[in-house]
Copies of this chain bind each other. A is one copy, B any other.
Amino acid sequence: MALVVSGVDILGYIAGAITTLTFLPQVLKTVREKSVKDISLMMFIIAAVNEILWIIYGAFRNDWVIILTNAVILCLSLTMIYLKFAYANKQSS
């Protein structure tokens, strides 16, 4: 097993870390503003199903980086789906 970490590896880790947190600004904005009218529910349903596929893929590959990063994105996607329903009937001020 190679333990040498190249600059390209580090770039991959940075990109992966950013990917994991992509949905966070949307979650924070929605929690703050309690308004979801313009948000696509379908986008986050697709994302959630997709993360489950990635987690299964990571499990088959025994790849904990894939499993854990996609588990974070799954949590954020499920949070957005919850918020979409929770605030569905509310008007923003």
Contact = CB atoms under 8 A, between A and B. Distances in A.
A21 B39 CA distance: 16
A79 interface: no
A43 B19 CA distance: 10
Given A8-B61, A11-B56, A61-B8, A50 B22 contact: yes
Interface residues of A, number: 36
Given A8-B57, A19-B50, A33-B38, 18 more contacts: A8-B60, A11-B53, A11-B57, A14-B53, A18-B46, A18-B53, A24-B43, A25-B42, A25-B46, A26-B39, A26-B43, A29-B38, A29-B40, A29-B43, A37-B37, A37-B38, A38-B38, A38-B39
Interface of A: 8, 11-12, 14-15, 18-19, 21-26, 28-30, 33, 35-40, 42-43, 46-47, 49-50, 53-54, 56-57, 60-61, 92
